[in-house]
Amino acid sequence: MIVRGRYPRLRQFGVALGLLAPALLLFLTFVGYPAVRALRVSTQDWTGFSPRALDVGNKHYLKLFGEPMFRSLPLLVVVVGLAAAGMAAGQWLRRSLAADRIRLGIRVGKYSGLALAAVLLSVLLLWTFGPSSAGCWNGATCGRWRS
């Protein structure tokens, strides 16, 4: 971007900030605030219908990490990571120029992160809303998790 004047770098920063501000505002409104609110709600014992929510701290997370199905999640992360590393190694050997390798490494890292996020989300949703009675949603609605 070409910006002229007395302080071109400062003006360039101002123009860039002005162009990014609407996107940043939308991102914080529709992604940032719901994420912070979800984190806050996850530390409360709230049914969603009662007017008051009881703060329980990290009690829900301790129960989650104590579940046997959740303990198999790191194994899944390792398997997906090894598969991504294998793909990256194959693509790395196929390329010859250093710039292409750096670009490829960034691309593989970006797409493997997206794939890993999709796999983890599907596993967590299956664990939460699974058809068996072992799902945490079914356990919560049947009253087995209430203390």
- pLDDT band for position 139 (50/70/90)? low
CA distance 76 to 69: 11
Helices (H), the chain: 8-27, 33-42, 59-66, 68-71, 73-94, 98-129, 136-142
On whether both 136 and 64 belong to a single domain, the answer is yes
On whether both 73 and 98 belong to a single domain, the answer is yes
On whether both 94 and 126 belong to a single domain, the answer is yes
On whether both 5 and 64 belong to a single domain, the answer is no
Number of domains in the chain: 2
Judge whether 26 lies within some domain: yes
CB 138 within 8 A of CB 128: no
* Residue 55 parent element (H or E): strand 54-55
On whether both 34 and 65 belong to a single domain, the answer is no
On whether both 138 and 72 belong to a single domain, the answer is yes
On whether both 78 and 131 belong to a single domain, the answer is yes
CA distance 127 to 135: 5
**Which domain covers residue 8, as residue numbers?**
1-42
Q: Which residue has the higher pLDDT, 113 or 82?
A: 82
On whether both 89 and 31 belong to a single domain, the answer is no
Angle in degrees, CA 76, 82, 88, rounded to 5 = 140
Judge whether 25 lies within some domain: yes
Find the farthest-apart pair of alpha carbons in the chain and give their distance in angstroms, rounded: 69
Task: Tell me what pLDDT residue 20 has.
Answer: 93
| pLDDT tens digits along 35-89 | 898 888 888 887 777 788 888 888 887 887 777 776 777 777 787 788 888 888 7
On whether both 70 and 120 belong to a single domain, the answer is yes
Judge whether 133 lies within some domain: yes
On whether both 130 and 88 belong to a single domain, the answer is yes
Judge whether 75 lies within some domain: yes
pTM for this predicted structure = 0.43
| pLDDT tens digits along 3-47 | 676 777 788 888 889 999 999 999 999 989 998 988 888 888 877
CA distance 85 to 29: 35
